[in-house]
Amino acid sequence: MRRPQATPARVIVFGAGATGARVVRMLAESPEVGRVEVRDPDTARLRRTVDSCDDSVTAARGLEMPPDADMVVIATPTGTQAAAARAAVNAGASAVTTSSEISETRELLALGSLAAENGVALVVGAGFMPGLTCLLARAGAAEFDLVDEIHVAKAGTGGPACARQHHRALSSLAIDWRDGSWTRRSGGSGRELCWFPDPVAGRDCYRGALSDALLLVPAFEGVERVTARLAATRRDRLTAPLPMMRRPHPEGGVGAVRVELRGRRAARRHVAVLGAQARPAQGAAIVAAATALHLIGRADVSGAGGLASIRDTGRLLRAVADRGLRPCRFEGFTLSRDETPRP
Q: Are 158 and 60 found together in one domain? A: no
Residue 302 lies in a domain: yes
Q: Are 249 and 148 found together in one domain? A: yes
How many whole angstroms separate alpha carbon 111 and alpha carbon 1? 23
Residue 182 lies in a domain: yes
Paired residues of 269 in beta bridges: 264
Paired residues of 13 in beta bridges: 38, 73
Residue ranges of the chain with per-residue pLDDT less than 70: 1-6, 245, 250, 332-343
Residue 26 lies in a domain: yes
Paired residues of 276 in beta bridges: 257
- What range defines the domain where residue 42 resides? 9-128+283-322
Angle, helix 132-141 to helix 280-295, in steps of 10 degrees: 70
How many whole angstroms separate alpha carbon 135 and alpha carbon 148? 17
CATH number at residue 199: 3.30.360.10
pLDDT of 335: 46
Q: Are 136 and 101 found together in one domain? A: no
CATH number at residue 308: 3.40.50.720
How many whole angstroms separate alpha carbon 213 and alpha carbon 176? 7
Residue 336 lies in a domain: no
- Report phi then psi at 270, rounded to 5: -140, 145
- Within 10 Å of residue 312's Cβ, how many Cβ atoms? 13
Q: Are 141 and 241 found together in one domain? A: yes
SS3 label, residue 279: coil
Q: Are 140 and 251 found together in one domain? A: yes
Residue 337 lies in a domain: no
Q: Are 22 and 60 found together in one domain? A: yes
Q: Are 158 and 82 found together in one domain? A: no
In 3D space, the residue among 180, 139, 148, 137 whose CA is nearest the CA of residue 270 turns out to be 148
Query: How far are the Cα atoms of 82, 201, 324, 332, 335 from residue 341, in angstroms, in the given order?
Result: 53, 21, 34, 12, 8
Residue 30 lies in a domain: yes
Instruction: Provide the whole-model pTM.
Output: 0.92
Domain boundary among 256, 280, 304: 280
pLDDT of 252: 75
Q: How many domains does the chain have?
A: 2
Q: Are 91 and 29 found together in one domain? A: yes
Which residues in the chain belong to E strands, given as ranges?
Answer: 9-14, 33-40, 57-61, 71-74, 94-97, 121-123, 146-155, 174-178, 181-185, 192-195, 202-207, 225-231, 255-265, 268-278, 303-305, 328-329
Q: Are 115 and 164 found together in one domain? A: no
pLDDT of 168: 87
pLDDT of 311: 87
pLDDT of 166: 83
Q: Are 123 and 209 in contact (CB under 8 A)?
A: no
pLDDT of 333: 54
Rg (CA), the chain: 20
* Contacts with 235 (C-beta within 8 Å, 6 or more apart), sequence order: none
Domain boundary among 280, 299, 332: 280
Q: Are 251 and 276 found together in one domain? A: yes
**Which amino acid, residue 24?**
V
pLDDT of 165: 84
Domain boundary among 225, 251, 280: 280
Q: Are 171 and 304 found together in one domain? A: no
Which residues in 5-145 belong to E strands, given as ranges?
Answer: 9-14, 33-40, 57-61, 71-74, 94-97, 121-123
Residue 20 lies in a domain: yes
Residue 316 lies in a domain: yes
Q: Are 67 and 147 found together in one domain? A: no
Checking phi first, is residue 161 left (phi over 0); if not, alpha (psi -120 to 50) or beta? alpha
3-state helix, strand, coil in the chain (%, to 5): 30, 30, 40
